[in-house]
Amino acid sequence: MLSPTKFRDIVSGRQAGLLAASLRVLLRLAEFPYSWAMRLRNCWYDRALAESHSVDARVISIGNLTLGGTGKTPLVQWIGRRLQRQEVRFAIVSRGYRAAPAGVNDEALELQLALPDVPHHQDRDRVAAAREVIKQYRSQVILLDDGFQHRRLARDLDVVLLDATEPFGFDHVFPRGTLREPLAGLSRADVVVLSRADMLDETARRQVRDRVARLAPDVLWCEIVHGPDELINTQGATSPTSTLAGKRVAAFSGIGNPAGFRHTLATLDCELIAWREYPDHHHYTSEDMESLAEWAVGADLVLCTRKDLVKLHHAALGRVPLWAVSVELRFLAGQELLESALDQLMAS
Residue of 172, 169, 145 lying closest to 34 (CA atoms) = 172
* Mean per-residue pLDDT, 24-46: 96
Residues 30, 116 contacting (CB under 8 angstroms): no
Residues 173, 36 contacting (CB under 8 angstroms): no
Task: Give the model confidence (pLDDT) of 300-325 as tens digits.
Answer: 999 999 999 989 988 999 999 999 99
Residues 25, 39: Cα–Cα separation, whole Å: 21
Q: Where in the chain are the domains?
A: 4-46, 58-226+330-347, 227-328
Residues 130, 57 contacting (CB under 8 angstroms): yes
Residues 265, 302 contacting (CB under 8 angstroms): no
Q: What is the pLDDT of residue 102?
A: 53
* Mean per-residue pLDDT, 282-309: 94
**Whether residue 101 has pLDDT greater than 60:** no
What residues contact residue 294 under an 8 Å CB cut-off, 6+ apart?
318
* Mean per-residue pLDDT, 40-49: 95
**Whether residue 2 has pLDDT greater than 80:** no
Rounded mean pLDDT of the chain? Answer: 93
* Mean per-residue pLDDT, 90-102: 76
User: Phi then psi for 274, rounded to 5 degrees?
Assistant: -155, 145
Residues 27, 7: Cα–Cα separation, whole Å: 11
Q: What is the pLDDT of residue 65?
A: 95
| More confident call, 68 vs 225 | 225
**Whether residue 41 has pLDDT greater than 60:** yes
Report CA-CA distances (Å) from 218 to 117, 172, 211: 35, 24, 13
Beta bridge partners of 252: 276
Beta bridge partners of 326: 230
Residue 69 banded pLDDT, cuts 50, 70, 90: confident
Range with lowest mean pLDDT among 15-19, 65-69, 235-239, 324-328 = 65-69
Strands (E) in 153-234, as ranges, are: 157-163, 191-195, 220-232
Residue of 310, 291, 313, 260 lying closest to 99 (CA atoms) = 310
CATH number at 58-226+330-347: 3.40.50.300
